[in-house]
Structure 1
Amino acid sequence: MADMTMTRLQELMVVLYAIGLVFYFIDYLNKDKIAHRSAFWILSAVYIMQTGFLFMFIIETKRFPVLSLFEGIYFYAWLLITLSILLHIFFKVGHAVFFLNVISFIFITIHTFAPAQIQTSPVGEALISELLFIHITFAILSYTAFAMSFVFAILYLLVYKILKQRKWSKQFGRLPSLQQAMTGMKVSLLTGIPFLLVSLILGVQWAHVVLDEWSVFDMKIMGSFLLLVVYGSVLFFHQSGRLRGNDYAWANVFAFLFVIINFFLGGRLSEFHFWI
């Protein structure tokens, strides 16, 4: 009975989230203050519910929810909505908030309506360690930073197109400047790349200590190192002046596709990764 109640509450949270996104979209189109305010308060209610579920899980299991794909999706969605609220309160970048919440909504929907068996992870209590915990947490934090770079890249391309066509709209005043979007991409990469590097170092160390057999050529490991190379190259070419403006923005957009592929597909093709 208690499990059914929790399921219904999570479904209610998804419905509220959808309603909030509708209000955000109305505000996006018409610069509607009432819709903007309504969206924020609905989002706040969703955030409170989501945080409550998160703490209930931590209290019940006495650990952080990062040791399976099912748990990681939820934590990732929670990080994105946390980031969107902080941006709403302190930086007033409404469009970034909208796009971040779209990504978060997709992940929370996947989590809520995923098959029940996905909750079962082969990671047993014997494998739960601080090293594994930090490895996975830093990986999710890096993915969150890369999601931010993706959002700011989309906003950069949008602003550039509007400026080039000289077609002003009600939404233009809510968009960041080209410089702000460029800075957002750069800061996101400067944050995400070190996080991913730390995660990979700790992950390799954990595998060396815990696993009897593992290979550096495992699909998940190779995919993660490829991701590091891709984002490192994007940042390097930008710093050296070979990636500027639209090219830099598009590079961030395409690089985020590797994040999505590595997030979902890498673990399933892995020979030893338990986070599936």
Structure 2
Amino acid sequence: MVEIFLARLHELMVVLYALSVLLYFIDFLHSNRKANSIAFWLLAFVWILQTIFLILYMLKTGRFPVLTIFEGLYFYAWVLITLSLVINRLLRVDFTVFFTNVLGFLIMVIHTFAPFQFESRVMSEQLVSELLLIHITMAILSYGAFSLSFVFSLLYLIQYDLLKQKKWGNRLLRIADLTKLENMSYVLNVIGVPMLILALILGIQWAFIKLPNMNWFDTKIIGSFVVLSVYSFNLYLRVRKDIHGKTIALWNVGSFLIVLINFFLFGRLSSFHFWYS
């Protein structure tokens, strides 16, 4: 019973950490102080839980937890979170904070879902299954965000064409204005990109545990990283190059076509995803 409770508590920390990374990503792009503040306090809560576990473990073992890989990973994750909180409060280097937290999330996932940390084989198998479930859920949610982003971009192009041709009517009035459509498409991409990053981290961890001989050049894996790269470049064009309007809408529509290819075509060609589906 205690083992199950601790496993759930560690999973809660992973979820809270994922939310924190998502909010730090929003702050990274837009210097959003509200998002930064919420992310900081979520991460602070995770740090408090980790610190409690760390102290209890030291009291139980009577030594500093760095003598095994398992212990080292946990302490490493704790150090990264501590440094992230300190940097966020004292140095205000948002770029460093975001990527430090992505690395910290990766280490925490490796530690949390490592099957050898539990004496019960059943508990270990259940935890690995839940890791897969979280990976799939986050991947689908990211694809859902990209799908809605595509819809808004498509509506943008339709509205743009109606305005250009001066076709006034009910259809024009029922579609939102161009600025709102573009902003909604962008916001959904801002949500989708970090969620896909986290989903890939979780998926890679699951593969290391369950498929040690897996082909890392599998079409689905390559396709997922292509999708991530395309949408990351989309955000780069929007934020750094200040590209707006029809150009970014067309790029977003094209990006979604890659999502469809990856989801339907590469999913069928993939021996990896066919194995667990």
Query: Please, what TM-score do these two structures have when normalized by structure 1?
Result: 0.52
Partner residue in 1 for 2:270: 270
Gaps of at least 5 residues in structure 1 are 1-124
Distance 1:160 1:217 in 2: 41
The gaps in structure 2 that reach 5 residues or longer are: 1-124
The answer on 1:255 being equivalent to 2:262 is no
CA distance in 2, matches of 1:153, 1:234: 12
Cα distance in 1 between the residues matched to 2:243 and 2:198: 26
Aligned to 2:168: 168
**1:158 Cα shift?**
1.1
Question: Residues 1-276 of structure 1 correspond to what in structure 2 (within 5 A)?
Answer: 129-241=129-241, 243-273=243-273, 274-276=275-277
In 2 relative to 1, CA 180–275 (structure 1 residues): closer, same or farther, beyond 3 Å? Answer: farther
Shift of 1:243: 2.9
Query: Which stretches of structure 1, 4 residues or more, deviate above 6 A after TM superposition?
Result: 125-128
CA–CA separation in structure 1 for the residues paired with 2:189 and 2:132:
23
Residues 86-123 of structure 1 show CA distances to partners (whole Å, capped at 9, x for unaligned) of xxxxxxxxxxxxxxxxxxxxxxxxxxxxxxxxxxxxxx
Kept after mapping to 2: 8 A contact 1:267/1:275: no
CA distance in 1, matches of 2:255, 2:276: 22
RMSD: 1.8
* Alignment correspondent of 2:18: none
Larger Rg: 2
1:183, 1:275 → 2: CA distance? Answer: 37
Distance 1:241 1:219, change over 3 A: same
Structure (1 or 2) with the greater helix fraction: 2
1:140 to partner: Cα distance: 0.5
1: distance between equivalents of 2:158 and 2:215?
A: 43
How far apart are the structure 2 equivalents of 1:164 and 1:262? Answer: 34
Q: Counterpart amino acid of 1:197?
A: I
Deviation string for 1:180-237 (max 9, x for gaps)?
Answer: 0011111110011111111100000000011131132111110000100000001111
Q: Any idea what the Cα deviations from partners look like across 1:67-98, whole Å, max 9, x if unmatched?
A: xxxxxxxxxxxxxxxxxxxxxxxxxxxxxxxx
Alignment deviations for residues 226-269 of structure 1 (CA, whole Å, 9 cap, x no partner): 10000000111111235321110001111111111111112221
Question: Structure 1 residues 126 and 213, CA, compared in 2 at 3 Å: closer, same or farther?
Answer: farther
Provide Cα deviations, 1:39-63, integer angstroms capped at 9, x if missing partner: xxxxxxxxxxxxxxxxxxxxxxxxx
Determine if contact 1:220/1:267 at 8 Å carries over to the other structure: yes
C-alpha distance in 2, partners of 1:269/1:127? 28
Cα separation, 2, equivalents of 1:265 and 1:176 = 33
Query: Match of 2:240, as an amino acid?
Result: S
How many aligned positions are there?
152
